[in-house]
Chain A
Amino acid sequence: ELKVEQNPLFLSMQEGKNYTIYCNYSTTSDRLYWYRQDPGKSLESLFVLLSNGAVKQEGRLMASLDTKARLSTLHITAAVHDLSATYFCAVGDSGTYKYIFGTGTRLKVLA
């Protein structure tokens, strides 16, 4: 059974600092997604990672995927307050159509 773990669960950081959110999963997968969710809102797609070594960047966020280690990272560079949100990774369950979501990382960027 595919399990997805994120850490940290909560992250409070100062503006201008860098940090990384980790997403570990337990079985082989060929697709991984990162989403952002603002309070009371739905999920906004950030990145789609489909192959080992994939790296994607958008603004201050960069996501990478290591399928051998079953690990994805979401790196935040020079955080700003607008990045405050909850970030989820979702892993495709191989051989099925399911996406299994992590527990989420609640990020708060302090001015």
Chain B
Amino acid sequence: GAGVSQTPSNKVTEKGKYVELRCDPISGHTALYWYRQSLGQGPEFLIYFQGTGAADDSGLPNDRFFAVRPEGSVSTLKIQRTERGDSAVYLCASSLRSGTGALNTEAFFGQGTRLTVV
């Protein structure tokens, strides 16, 4: 596709429920990122994929959060037992390449999924 696509654009869920957020990166981009943005804040790193593997998941807040990218393209962020504090905009980004000193590291962001836990 032309850009990074995220679905759904909005998700309202009850506390304790399970949710899945989907990200479809730009075709050919091997690097994929998930960020979380709370109101009035800058995006906060959650997890990074290089291909199918999670190269860095140090930003995931706890074990309720998990992400996969089984075929190296589409990624799904999964949140179990949602809490009201999980409410935020979840942003996905992809880049052609990544890493220190690499060219073509510019990350392109999707429109985000606004998650509201009630």
**Which residues of A does B touch, CB under 8 Å?**
4, 30-31, 33, 35, 41-45, 48, 50, 88, 90, 92, 94-104
Which has the most chain B C-beta neighbours within 10 Å: A35, A96, A102, A104? A96
User: B107 near A98 (CB under 8 angstroms)?
Assistant: no
A96 and B42 contact, CB distance less than 8 A? no
**How far, in angstroms, from A94 to B93 measured CA to CA in the complex?**
19
Q: Which residues of A contact B111 (CB under 8 A)?
A: 41-42
Q: Tally of A-B residue pairs with Cβ under 8 A?
A: 62
Q: Which 5 pairs show the lowest CB-CB distances between chains A and B?
A: A101-B42, A43-B109, A97-B48, A42-B109, A42-B111
Interface residues on chain B, size class: 20 to 34
Contact status A96-B56, CB under 8 Å? yes
Measured CB to CB, the nearest residue on chain A to B104 is: A48
Q: Is the CB of A98 within 8 A of B42?
A: no
Kindly state the separation between the CA atoms of A100 and B46 in the bound complex, as whole angstroms: 11
B42 in contact with A45 (CB, 8 Å): no
Give the residues in chain A near B59, CB-CB below 8 Å: 98
The one of A30, A42, A88, A99 in contact with B45, judged by C-beta atoms closer than 8 angstroms, is A99
Main secondary structure of the interface of B (DSSP, over half): loop
Could you tell me which residues of chain B, from 8 to 48, have a CB within 8 Å of some CB in chain A?
31, 33, 35, 41-45, 48
Known: A42-B109, A45-B106, A103-B42. A98 touches B101 (CB 8 A): no
- Interface CB pairs A-B, < 8 A, 22: A31-B101, A33-B107, A35-B109, A41-B111, A42-B91, A42-B111, A44-B109, A45-B106, A48-B106, A90-B42, A90-B43, A95-B100, A97-B55, A97-B98, A97-B99, A98-B58, A98-B59, A99-B45, A101-B42, A101-B44, A103-B41, A104-B41
Query: Hey, which bits of chain B sit against chain A, CB under 8 A?
Result: 31, 33, 35, 41-45, 48, 50, 55-56, 58-59, 91, 93, 98-101, 103, 105-112
For B103, what are the chain A residues with a Cβ–Cβ distance below 8 Å? Answer: 50
Q: How far is the CA of A12 from the CA of B91 in the complex (A)?
A: 27
Contact B43 A101 (CB under 8 A): yes
